[in-house]
Amino acid sequence: MDDVGIEFVREILVKIVRAPRVTGIEYMALPLLRDLMEPFSDIFKVDNWGNSEAVINPGGKPVVMFAAHIDQLGIIVKDITEDGFLKFEGVGWDPRVVYGMRVRLLTEKGEVKGVVSTLPPHIFKTYKELGEKKLEIRDLTIDVGASSREEAESLGIKPGVYGVPDYNPCDLFGDYFTSPGLDDGAGVTTILVAQKRIWEHRDEVDAEVHIVTTIQEEIGLRGAEMMAYRIKPDIAVAVDATFARQPRLPEEFVIKAGKGPVISKGPIYHWEVVNTLEGVAREFKIPYQIEPDYRGYGTDTWAIQVARGGVKTGLVSIPLRNMHSPVEVINLRDVWWGGELLFRFVERL
């Protein structure tokens, strides 16, 4: 792999993680997706709900779909207190990583910055019960600097406004990279790498390829269900993030970031798809890891497998540390290799 590959991955990834794409407002990322996907496709489409799709080689056989979810974890404002603090709700969060988090609130009047309030730890000596109380998101509030409900409202804040963690993406040592929203910004970038490679070699490809970003994965694989029904692929591979080894994670979690993309094996992953993925990885010396997974639910693969009488499905994952936090960590090489793996897979069909 060359540095050009890594540069390309970083460039796309930074754009994607900077775009607000909380579950429910994925449409905000559509102009960016059009910019990134349209140049490498014969057809680019967006559906009613904000799923996007780039088609290469329409009319080819078989019909292949690569899907990654565009949504990321966020929050939604529930209420404003009399003194201007915001009550909120979120899905998929550990409240301990939300505590003290900086947020961007996406109002009709523009972005408003805020912080999730914390308590001074000094007081826990006196108020022991406060220090020992289990953190719950419903007890937390966001401080935007407003002194009253009216002042907060004047900024465009009201119940139903979405918010997203406010952290800049950042390089770590050794091609590691941190940002919120790498689940599944990393997967989306992986399929875009594959798209570019397939587009460059489209004359040698027999398949009709659909590169798809799905909405609302985090609340139940909603977009994957829509897209699998509409496209009716013969073969599909979902690309998502998986838990990478890190301190304190139980020992059975053996997948490592930086050691290559992960191919899942288990009942919902079709043997032909798995064997072909593994075969091309070996042939082209793409580093990869195997993750046995007997249950399989929790990624778009789960919805796609049973669409329209059954699709031959697979799952490729990017190893990720600190999942569902604002400081998710991946290795950029895994994304490049993942894209290469999908490209070689299509070439083989």
Compute φ and ψ for 264, nearest 5 degrees.
-85, 140
Contact assessment for residue 349 and residue 62, using Cβ atoms and an 8 Å cutoff: yes
Q: Rounded to the nearest whole angstrom, what is the least distance from the CB of residue 184 to Zn ion in the complex?
A: 4
Binding flag, residue 225, Zn ion (CB under 5 A): no
Closer residue to Zn ion (CB): 202 or 324: 324
Provide, rounded to whole angstroms, the least separation between the CB of residue 178 and Zn ion.
17
- The amino acid that residue 96 corresponds to is R
Q: How far is the CB of 280 from Zn ion (least distance, A)?
A: 24
Whether omega for the bond prior to residue 184 falls within 30 degrees of 0, making it cis, is: yes
Q: Are 66 and 237 in contact (CB under 8 A)?
A: yes
User: Between 53 and 183, whose beta carbon lies closer to Zn ion?
Assistant: 183
CB of 316 to Zn ion, least distance (A): 12
Q: From edge to edge, which strands make up the β-sheet containing 262-265?
A: 43-46, 52-56, 208-214, 63-69, 235-243, 312-320, 262-265, 289-292
What DSSP line would sit under 100-136, residue for residue?
Answer: T-EEEEEETTEEEEEEE----GGGGTT-HHHHHSPP-
User: Of the ranges 139-147, 188-196, 234-242, 252-260, which one interacts with Zn ion (CB under 5 A)?
Assistant: 234-242
- Under the binding rule (CB under 5 A), the answer on residue 240 touching Zn ion is yes
User: Helix count (H) and strand count (E) of the chain?
Assistant: 10, 17
Q: Which two tokens stand for residue 196?
A: 């570019």
Stretch that binds Zn ion, among 97-105, 235-243, 277-285, 314-322 (CB under 5 A): 235-243
Distance CA(225)–CA(340), nearest Å, equals 26
Of the candidate spans 182-190, 200-208, 256-264, 322-330, the one that interacts with Zn ion by CB under 5 A turns out to be: 182-190
Total of residues contacting Zn ion (CB under 5 A)? 3
Per rule CB under 5 A, is residue 340 in the interface with Zn ion? no
**Shortest Å distance, C-beta 69 to Zn ion:** 6
- Point out the residues that are catalytic: 217
Site stretch for Zn ion (CB under 5 A), options 91-99, 104-112, 184-192, 313-321: 184-192
For Zn ion, the closer CB: 26 or 183: 183
| Residue 183 found at the interface with Zn ion (CB under 5 A) | yes
Decide whether 240 or 340 has the Cβ nearer to Zn ion.
240
Please identify which residue in 53, 71, 175, 184 interacts with Zn ion, judged by CB under 5 A: 184
Question: Hey, which residues between 107 and 146 contact Zn ion (CB under 5 A)?
Answer: none
Structure tokens at 334: 């895994």
Counting Cβ atoms within 10 Å, is residue 66 exposed (0-12), middle (13-18) or buried (19+)? buried
- Residues at the site binding Zn ion, with contacts judged by CB under 5 A: 183-184, 240
